[in-house]
Structure 1
């Protein structure tokens, strides 16, 4: 118990509790955190969905274009965190209202919990493949639980622990990834990868691939302010996260495309979104990348869930450690549900439908309606500038609902030739801007909310 109380006090002193944080991390440290975060197994395996759905060059082009588009949204939302000191879901109070923000917060926790389960399972399946190959022992559920337990221990240390661990994981993963690229392109030329026949029966187009890549970026934007609020300046946050995220996403997805292409060229069984299919030809090095990526990424996911929950009740105070322990336990138990892996693409679509409109609204509200300035009322539990009608901005809620429905319809009911993500974002952006522009705030000085709180 003494250890628990000491750790609890330490975490509270680090300000991972409900309130703004004054960032101290440099551009390089932010870049390394984001670099490690998205060198992740789910991003890698998303790359395996793209070939032979489209040709190799088209896949790489759409990966770069979609990543850059997604990074714009990610850095814009992350910069609000740097300028205010608050995590992403706490910032939704500005647009949705003090009480209305609980809607995206609840959706965020559910989505992040799902992410933690999927990634723990993929790590467990990968470790199980190696162990079974060496010893004959097989228990993917056991290894999923063990992997997620390590993740929770890292996340319990809060942002300090993650900031220390992530850079080293990133360096190690990049070294191994470089080795895998050398192996792949030494045995087969880029022209051989380009000559892999396109399988039209998969039903993907270049635009479909672009939509998938952008949706991946959107899935990470839910944590953008959580980590960019730790940056010591807007430049450090924007450039660091932009470079780190873009480099890691392009690298991970390209690795996935290359790995599945290598399997095809080697006359192996190319099963998309199956870690065992690509670990088999590359062996332990790729398995190590997958394992380390889960350690790096899932620690951020559990941390992000925890900060979302502790920052949800304005005016109340939830302690970081017990919240992290409860959510961590749920994430460990959920990692035993291996059946979720078969629903990953549907899961990604749900993320896009729920959060593409949220981030369109947040960007409009902060940069255009509130003129790049949130004030101390964002920390109030009742009343003030962000109380709207009974604590809810019904305009934001309505725009969110319309955007989410549009995203679903364009993905499943009437598939759009330009995908669902970009149209849903544009529709929500225009709707919210049109409705809120008459209420545009007078220009005010931007202040960091940690300074206001401490004043």
Structure 2
């Protein structure tokens, strides 16, 4: 079955997936390179297990643990923390699946997908915003992974390693651990996407081991689940809890807000829509709930054993307090593998494509990964994760609101304006249907700006003014992700629907 298209030929399979049968029209484009090109159907081989393993690798890591543990540190009970996390992950799964559809259908990565709505050039706005945030996450993951390496070596080498001379307020041995962890990740990403897939597959079944060892040790020391489950909420169920619940829920959503945009980077390799949907539905809620339960119980038990120590929300620092060095080493080795697995999939793949999209003829996937690694160090991640309040309300809350606006534009454009119909060849064409005005779509930019300003204009606390950046928007900041997503979706739908030129049926389309 063939579909004649302007600038190329599309073939639509019975299962709805589309591929170009004539690539000559895009290969000479300056907006094309091998990494950004649509994946041929024959190479879309990822299975349900691949996606489940991907999510297990991305969810089972130290920052996921600290996300759940931070809620306990903020005063929630285990019930309140678990409820917040489960609801947040079910909500973020919706835009994630909606945006994943295009990757599987057309075999295109997120930056190319965004061209259909922001314009061939304007897509760089969405891609680079998402890419720079991924750099921040890469730095955070690398820092906490380096901390785990530091604790492991310290348990084996003794006080000389742990109490080494300090450089920039940290032991020099911690900086060495950080650098080592960074180099290992760069070596894997330099080998490309297939190396990442293989790494995810064999690490996924192992990453739970470390967390279970930590939990088991704490349960034994604390006298079982009873004392942990009996610990009351310091917030109660009144206004104190609900004041923390709303921004915490937005933070839970924001934790995966990056992936809700760029899942096409992975679903472009999927064997079908059912395959990627099943893998994600089975993968994200279950794995995040598991790690949340483990983190909540372990942190609560740690508080019973060691008191209100601010370091207990970090599993590496908690493990450093344990007496049994063998258990500590085994647990943290598993956590190190988990963190590498997550960092490569969640925080290197996307910005590698994003930076490549900005300069397709100059930046390869591997070079984009190296840029990600360098920026991830420059942003000083040890400051971002220094305090649970800053981590949740400033870092997660602010960027979550901005990315939510982009997600709203993508969902509105793909499902409501274009009705899931894309001309793949024109996504790489100068002057085609996605060129808009000089390569930019002002309507998408307007919707993004409106959504982002409403979502984070009232940012307060931490590095922001107590009365908010824009005081009258302060009440909206506690609902930043929801405000950004809904407002951008509505604005883009309203301003785009009167002009339906880009959603018209493909000329000469014939389906067999």
Q: Which residue of 2 aligns with 1:355?
A: 403
Q: Is the 8 A contact 2:146 2:179 kept in 1?
A: yes
Cα deviations by residue, 1:208-235 (Å, 9 ceiling, x for unpaired)? 3322211112133243111111111111
Whether 1:173 and 2:207 are equivalent positions in the alignment is yes
Q: Which residue of 2 aligns with 1:274?
A: 314
Whether 1:290 and 2:329 are equivalent positions in the alignment is no
1:309 to 351, 355, 366: 355
Whether 1:344 and 2:384 are equivalent positions in the alignment is no
Q: CA offset at residue 37 of structure 1? A: 1.5
Q: CA offset at residue 19 of structure 1? A: 1.0
Residues 71, 270 of structure 1: CA spacing in aligned structure 2 closer, same or farther, 3 A cutoff?
Answer: farther
Distance in 2 (CA, whole Å) between partners of 1:117 and 1:385 is: 38
Whether 1:232 and 2:271 are equivalent positions in the alignment is yes
Q: Is the 8 A contact 1:44 1:254 kept in 2?
A: no
Whether 1:19 and 2:41 are equivalent positions in the alignment is no
Distance in 2 (CA, whole Å) between partners of 1:421 and 1:290 is: 29
Distance in 1 (CA, whole Å) between partners of 2:85 and 2:231 is: 18
Q: CA offset at residue 324 of structure 1? A: 3.6
Computing the radius of gyration over CA atoms, which structure comes out larger, 1 or 2? 2
Q: Which residue of 2 aligns with 1:213?
A: 252
Distance in 2 (CA, whole Å) between partners of 1:115 and 1:16 is: 26
Give the TM-score of the pair, scaled to structure 1: 0.86
Q: Is the 8 A contact 2:78 2:296 kept in 1?
A: yes
- Greater RCO structure (CA 8 Å; 6+ sep): 1
Cα deviations by residue, 1:110-153 (Å, 9 ceiling, x for unpaired)? 11111111111111112212322432214111101111111111
Whether 1:126 and 2:148 are equivalent positions in the alignment is yes
Q: Is the 8 A contact 1:371 1:444 kept in 2?
A: no
Q: Which residue of 2 aligns with 1:193?
A: 228
Q: Is the 8 A contact 1:145 1:335 kept in 2?
A: no
Distance in 2 (CA, whole Å) between partners of 1:424 and 1:326 is: 29
Structure 1 stretch 414-423 or stretch 221-230: which is displaced more?
414-423
Residues 239, 250 of structure 1: CA spacing in aligned structure 2 closer, same or farther, 3 A cutoff?
Answer: same
Q: CA offset at residue 423 of structure 1? A: 2.2
Q: Which residue of 1 aligns with 2:471?
A: none
Whether 1:68 and 2:90 are equivalent positions in the alignment is yes
Q: CA offset at residue 377 of structure 1? A: 4.3
Partner-residue secondary structure (3-state), 1:157: coil
Q: CA offset at residue 178 of structure 1? A: 3.7
Cα deviations by residue, 1:363-413 (Å, 9 ceiling, x for unpaired)? 110111100111124433411111112211111111111111111135422
Distance in 2 (CA, whole Å) between partners of 1:411 and 1:339 is: 19
Whether 1:86 and 2:108 are equivalent positions in the alignment is yes
Residues 216, 329 of structure 1: CA spacing in aligned structure 2 closer, same or farther, 3 A cutoff?
Answer: closer
Distance in 2 (CA, whole Å) between partners of 1:378 and 1:214 is: 33
Give the TM-score of the pair, scaled to structure 2: 0.77
Bigger helix share: 1
1:158 to 186, 192, 200: 192
Residues 235, 268 of structure 1: CA spacing in aligned structure 2 closer, same or farther, 3 A cutoff?
Answer: same
Q: Is the 8 A contact 1:34 1:241 kept in 2?
A: yes
Q: Which residue of 2 aligns with 1:249?
A: 288
Distance in 1 (CA, whole Å) between partners of 2:229 and 2:286 is: 22
Distance in 2 (CA, whole Å) between partners of 1:104 and 1:411 is: 21
Residues 241, 317 of structure 1: CA spacing in aligned structure 2 closer, same or farther, 3 A cutoff?
Answer: farther
Stretches of structure 2 that go unaligned for 5 or more consecutive residues are 1-32, 163-172, 461-467, 469-473, 508-512
Distance in 2 (CA, whole Å) between partners of 1:416 and 1:221 is: 21
Q: CA offset at residue 274 of structure 1? A: 3.0
Structure 1 stretch 33-42 or stretch 408-417: which is displaced more?
408-417
What are the within-5 Å matches in structure 2 for residues 438-449 of structure 1? 438-440=498-500, 441-442=502-503, 444=505
Stretches of structure 1 that go unaligned for 5 or more consecutive residues are 1-14, 447-455
Distance in 2 (CA, whole Å) between partners of 1:161 and 1:359 is: 29
Question: How many pairs does the alignment contain?
Answer: 430
